[in-house]
C-alpha cells in the first residue's frame, strides 16, 4: 500500500474530536462508579469484551482482514497491550485511590509525548512552529491544573496511583504512533482485531485473579460497565483509529487536551469532586493552544 498522507482537519473531524473528548472524559466517572465493585482487571476485561462484541458484526459484514505476517501479528499484539489492556488496567486501578478528576488531568499529559513519537515515526506529521507553540500552551494548561491537584494529593497515599495514570498516558502516546504504521488493515477492522486481542489478554488475566461476585454488582455499576463498553471502548475506538489515520496522531492528541477539563467538570457535577479555580485558566490556555496548532505555516515558495 502506498504511503498515506494526512490531511488538514475538517469541521467534521473537529466535531468528532469534541465528541470523543466528552465520551472519554465521562468514562472516568463510569470507572469510578464501577471499579470498587468489579476490581480493575474485570472492569477492563468487561468493557473491552463488550466493545469487541459491538464491533464484530460490522467487521464480519465488511470482511475480516487479518495480519499477513508473523511480524504484523506481533505488532498488533504490542498495540493491543499498549493501547488497551495495560492503560485500561492502570487507570482502573488508580481510580480505586484517586478521584476521576485527577485521573483525567494526569492522562492529559500525553499530547506532548504523542507529538514527539509522531514526529519520530511518521513522514508527514512533523513539528512546525505552530504545533510547538500550540502544544506548549496546552501542556502548560494541563500542568497548571495537574500541579495544583497533585500537590493537594501528596501525602494521601495516592502518588503511586498518579504514577500509574502517567504510565497509561505513555502507553497511549506510543501506541498512537504505532497505529499509523499499520498499512494493511482498514481502521474499523483494525480496532476489532485489537479489541479481540485485548479481550483474550484481560479475560485470561481475570481468570487467574479469580471471578468477581457477579450477583453483588449493583445496577449502577452494570450501567457503567455497559456505557464503558459501548461508547468509550467500542464506538470511540473506531473513531480514534480513523482520526489518527486521517489527520495524524499529534493533532488528534491536541484535541484530547480537553479531556482533563471536561473530566474535572463532570467529576464535580456528577460525583461532587472539588474543582480548583485553576481549571478555568487551563481551559483558556488549552483552547488557545488548539487554535494556534491548527494554523498552517505560510508557503514560502512565492505562491
pLDDT in tens, 32-74: 999 999 999 999 999 999 999 989 998 898 888 887 788 888 9
pLDDT in tens, 280-294: 787 788 778 777 876
Contact call for residues 181 and 121 (beta carbons, < 8 A): yes
Tell me how long the chain is: 303
Q: Which of the two residues, 181 and 262, has the higher pLDDT score?
A: 262
- CA dihedral angle for residue 5, residue 11, residue 14, residue 16, rounded to 10 degrees: -100
Q: What is the mean pLDDT of the segment spanning 141-157?
A: 66
Segments making up each domain of the chain, as ranges: 11-293
Per-residue confidence (pLDDT) for residue 125, from 0 to 100: 67
Q: What is the mean pLDDT of the segment spanning 146-159?
A: 64
- pLDDT of 303 over the 60 cut: no
Per-residue confidence (pLDDT) for residue 299, from 0 to 100: 54
Best CA proximity match to 245, nearest among 88, 109, 118, 56: 118
- pLDDT of 302 over the 50 cut: no
Q: What is the mean pLDDT of the segment spanning 11-34?
A: 91
Q: What is the mean pLDDT of the segment spanning 88-93?
A: 96
Angle at 245 between CA 13 and CA 187, to 5 degrees: 100
Per-residue confidence (pLDDT) for residue 278, from 0 to 100: 77
- pLDDT of 119 over the 90 cut: no
Please give the Cα distance from 134 to 273 (Å, whole number): 29
- pLDDT of 165 over the 60 cut: yes
Amino acid at each position: 500500500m502506498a504511503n498515506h498522507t494526512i490531511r488538514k482537519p475538517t469541521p467534521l473531524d473537529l466535531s468528532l474530536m469534541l465528541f470523543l473528548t466528552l465520551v472519554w472524559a465521562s468514562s472516568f466517572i463510569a470507572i469510578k462508579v464501577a471499579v470498587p465493585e468489579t476490581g480493575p482487571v474485570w472492569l477492563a476485561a468487561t468493557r473491552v469484551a463488550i466493545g469487541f462484541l459491538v464491533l464484530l458484526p460490522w467487521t464480519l459484514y465488511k470482511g475480516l482482514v487479518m495480519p499477513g505476517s508473523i511480524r504484523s501479528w506481533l505488532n498488533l499484539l504490542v498495540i493491543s497491550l499498549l493501547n488497551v489492556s495495560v492503560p485500561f488496567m492502570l487507570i482502573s486501578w488508580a481510580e480505586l485511590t484517586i478521584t476521576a478528576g485527577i485521573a483525567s488531568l494526569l492522562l492529559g499529559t500525553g499530547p506532548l509525548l504523542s507529538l514527539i513519537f509522531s514526529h519520530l515515526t511518521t513522514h508527514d506529521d512533523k513539528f512546525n512552529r505552530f504545533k510547538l507553540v500550540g502544544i506548549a500552551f496546552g501542556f502548560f494548561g494541563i500542568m497548571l491544573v495537574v500541579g495544583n491537584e497533585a500537590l493537594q494529593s501528596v501525602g494521601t497515599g495516592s502518588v503511586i496511583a498518579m504514577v500509574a495514570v502517567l504510565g497509561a498516558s505513555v502507553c497511549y502516546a506510543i501506541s498512537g504512533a504505532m497505529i499509523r504504521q499499520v498499512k494493511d488493515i482498514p481502521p474499523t477492522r483494525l480496532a476489532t482485531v485489537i479489541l479481540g486481542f485485548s479481550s483474550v489478554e484481560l479475560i485470561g488475566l481475570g481468570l487467574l485473579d479469580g471471578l468477581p461476585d457477579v450477583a453483588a454488582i449493583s445496577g449502577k455499576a452494570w450501567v457503567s460497565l455497559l456505557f464503558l463498553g459501548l461508547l468509550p471502548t467500542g464506538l470511540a475506538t473506531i473513531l480514534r483509529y480513523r482520526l489518527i489515520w486521517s489527520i495524524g496522531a499529534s493533532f488528534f492528541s491536541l484535541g484530547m487536551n480537553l479531556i482533563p477539563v471536561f473530566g474535572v467538570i463532570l467529576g464535580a457535577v456528577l460525583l461532587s469532586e472539588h474543582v480548583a479555580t485553576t481549571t478555568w485558566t487551563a481551559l483558556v490556555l488549552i483552547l488557545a493552544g488548539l487554535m494556534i496548532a491548527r494554523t498552517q505555516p505560510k508557503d514560502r515558495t512565492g505562491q
